[in-house]
Copies of this chain bind each other. A is one copy, B any other.
Amino acid sequence: MSGGGLITLAHGAGGKATRNLVEKLFLPELGNPLLEPLGDSALFDVNGSRLAFTTDSYVVRPIFFPGGSIGDLAVNGTVNDLAVAGARPLALSAGFVVEEGYPVDDLRRVAADLARAAERAGVSVAAGDTKVVEHGKGDGLYITSAGVGVVPRGVELGPHLVRPGDRVLVSGTLGDHGMAVLLARGDLDLEADLHSDTAPLHGLTAALLDVGGVRWMRDPTRGGLATALNELARDAGLAVELEEAALPVRQEVAGACEILGIDPLYVANEGKLIAVVSPESAPAALAALRADPLGADAAIVGAVRAEPSGLVLLGTALGGSRIVDMLVGDPLPRIC
């Protein structure tokens, strides 16, 4: 990033190249105490209330896929970024960049998905904007959503609160969204009954916060579980040890991943969260997740260790252990 160079798809993949772009280009220019470089929401105080604020752009292709559409993603993704910051979502915005010639009926269908997802998540789409670009200068439709939420008094989360011995939970099966979208493109000679998991997580996060002992939460979208936990390990200066056998992955997803040579740990999720909780809280946290249909497949998948600092390790069924690195390159462009 030291001058010259062209943007590549990997810069948008959520892995190492994205982090590089943020740390070498955006942070030096835009760095300020509020900017949460790769976290989920920025937090700031207004008249004694703590607000959370976040944005995400969506360029998923195809725009409609089994289990949802770009409209669902734009709502749920922003709701989830607020939720894992401990916030209660209040209001969303949606900015549309539409390609000339896009069917009005498809735009209406996306708007309906957006509206239904917002209603399900209990938030209002309060602000919007539409720009149109010439045919050939877009790809149907891009949506950028932003969201505002309020963090209840007493809630504090962050990598600095994570301690060795803490447990790592996931709220359900991994990789469903990414593999469903990949297969929906239809350019692989592979069929499987896969559906995106796109869903709002604010109910699960509220339930976890009620249990207490929550240190850190994240929704593992682009780059998957592996990338999110690598960021945690790095930011906390600790290690995360996962148990391979404990990781919930649907058989259809595991099968498709194996055929394509993709590791489900790097595949995007759009309706799952990772929570790091104190060892004492872990059983109650697991029960709270499982009590919600969105968390029915929740599992304790690992623990935090003091060493080796900054790394994520995967313990295999045979007793071995390997390092799980951050995502490098972009095996699945435009997955969200």
Contacts and interface: CB of A to CB of B under 8 A. Distances in A.
Interface of A: 1, 3-13, 18, 21-22, 25-26, 29-30, 32-36, 41-42, 44, 46-49, 51, 53-59, 90-91, 93-105, 107-108, 111-112, 114-115, 118, 124-134, 136-139, 142, 144, 146, 148, 150, 333-334
Contacts of A5: 103-105
Given A32-B125, A36-B127, A6 B57 contact: no
A46 B90 contact: yes
A41 B127 contact: yes
A54 B8 CA distance: 30
Q: How many copies does the complex hold?
A: 2
Given A7-B100, A57-B131, A131-B142, 11 more contacts: A5-B103, A12-B132, A21-B130, A25-B107, A29-B112, A36-B127, A51-B148, A54-B127, A129-B144, A131-B334, A133-B142
22 contacts: A7-B101, A9-B100, A9-B134, A11-B132, A18-B130, A22-B130, A29-B114, A30-B128, A32-B124, A36-B127, A42-B124, A42-B127, A47-B47, A51-B148, A54-B127, A55-B95, A55-B127, A55-B128, A59-B133, A95-B146, A97-B97, A133-B142
